[in-house]
Amino acid sequence: MKRLTAKVLSCAPLNAEMGLLTLALPAGAEAAVPGQFAHIAVPGDRAHLLRRPISLYSVHDGILELGIAAKGEGTRRILQAKPGEEIDLLYPLGRGFDKGAMRRIAFVGGGIGVAPLRFAMERFADAQCRAVFGFRSRDLLYAVEECEKTGASVTVCTDDGSAGFHGLVTGPLEEMLRRGEVDGVMACGPTPMLRAVQALALRCGVPAQLSLEEHMGCGLGACLTCNCKVKAKDGEFGYKRVCADGPVFPAEEVVFG
């Protein structure tokens, strides 16, 4: 069963722009992998037809936590959910991060892209985990302490210098890669960040996995609306489905722009 009805346990602010929606998963919910997503129906009305794809912030003991940015009317309505209300979701969807043989992993996140990395760091805690998280400013920080609790070291960067390093995540990442401190990168964030992470990882010969975002329809792989550009044979390019082939892709496969 992939279509579930989950009860809201709580909904609280995560930072100045995001909320944390905590749901009780019903019995029979499939096990999820970090990087997968939940496809959430907007509650309360029929005008917002499409589900909202939301990455998984944490899954433990039958509880699902989702970090949701209030980007528009649909996500605002989801964040207005009250304890006891029911949420209709398709879960879990997509292909997540693959730890494979990685023993020293760098997690690189920007803004709401930090959310799925928090779940990955929780699950992959047996590896040596180091994180570099970028936020626009201090009031948008979240997940940092939770990630540190998994035993990882977390470097915070802000665009305005109000917390941590004043600058981009690529600075600390480049140092780590240069020093040969990691043997794998997992990243999620805005496209310019992912493009920079891709370039750095490829240049240093370190395998990287990028979690992409795209406007989405069914979430199941049928409607072909959430396409992303990938390399194909003979220097050509093709499209893959972010929902079903991703959202996590090997960095060498993705074509930005």
Residue ranges that bind another protein, judged by CB under 8 A:
2-3, 41, 46-51, 74, 90, 214-218, 220-229, 238-239, 244
Q: CA 220 to CA 174: how far, in whole Å?
A: 36
How many CB atoms within 10 Å of residue 13? 12
Query: Which CB, 1 or 16, lies closer to another protein?
Result: 1
- Least CB distance to another protein at residue 207 (A): 25
Query: Which CB, 182 or 218, lies closer to another protein?
Result: 218
- Least CB distance to another protein at residue 7 (A): 20
Residue 136 CA: distances (Å) to CA of 143, 158, 163, 172, 192: 15, 5, 10, 16, 14
- Least CB distance to another protein at residue 233 (A): 13
Query: Which CB, 69 or 163, lies closer to another protein?
Result: 69
Residues 6 or more apart whose Cβ sits within 8 Å of residue 145: none
- Least CB distance to another protein at residue 216 (A): 7
Q: CA 113 to CA 251: how far, in whole Å?
A: 16
Query: Which CB, 24 or 222, lies closer to another protein?
Result: 222
How many CA atoms within 13 Å lie on the side-chain side of 167? Answer: 9
